[in-house]
Amino acid sequence: MLSACALIIFILEAQLPPLLPIPGVKPGLANIMTLLAFFVVGRRGAFAGLFVRIILGSIFTGNMMSMTFSLFGGLAAYGAMLLALKLIGNTIAASISGAIAHNAGQILAAVLFTKTLQIVYYLPILIISAVATGLFTGVICAAVIKIIKKRSEGS
């Protein structure tokens, strides 16, 4: 169910006009579901959900080329979120870490694909946006987790 929600959010977000006139800057709202999955179904379930979202998202949006970039970014984000949750245990820190790692992973994919290092100069701009978007999605995810915990305690 989390994969389906993430996929719907991903597809809807792809239809939105860019927030900023900077290519590649998106809120990454589907990552809320990936981070939430760590708490609801564990790390293996979160990984499976992320993988399903990347594959189906690329198929449904008709952009198979983006699958490589999404895989690099998604796997980097997953690893960063897993590490941050293990070391820090904070949803917001995990979200920001994941957003930064996602952008770094996509830059790595771009460097490998284009065989040019000049793309790396774009990374600081993406890191700044990742901190903002990661904070936003982390706050939302933390609020959702709080609601889930409150409801499970009440039942």
Within a domain: 80: yes
Report pLDDT for 111. 95
Residue 120 has pLDDT above 70, yes or no: yes
| pTM (2 d.p.) | 0.90
Q: What is the pLDDT of residues 93-107, one digit of tens each?
A: 999 999 999 999 999
Within a domain: 104: yes
Residue 44 belongs to what domain range? 2-16+30-154
Within a domain: 25: no
Within a domain: 70: yes
- Stretch among 11-25, 75-89, 134-148 having the lowest mean pLDDT: 11-25
User: Got the DSSP string for the chain?
Assistant: -HHHHHHHHHHHHHHSPPSSSSTT----TTHHHHHHHHHHTHHHHHHHHHHHHHHHHHHHTT-THHHHHHHHHHHHHHHHHHHHHHHT--HHHHHHHHHHHHHHHHHHHHHHHHT-GGGGGGHHHHHHHHHHHHHHHHHHHHHHHHHHHHHHHH-
Within a domain: 22: no
Within a domain: 139: yes
The tally of domains found in the chain comes to 1
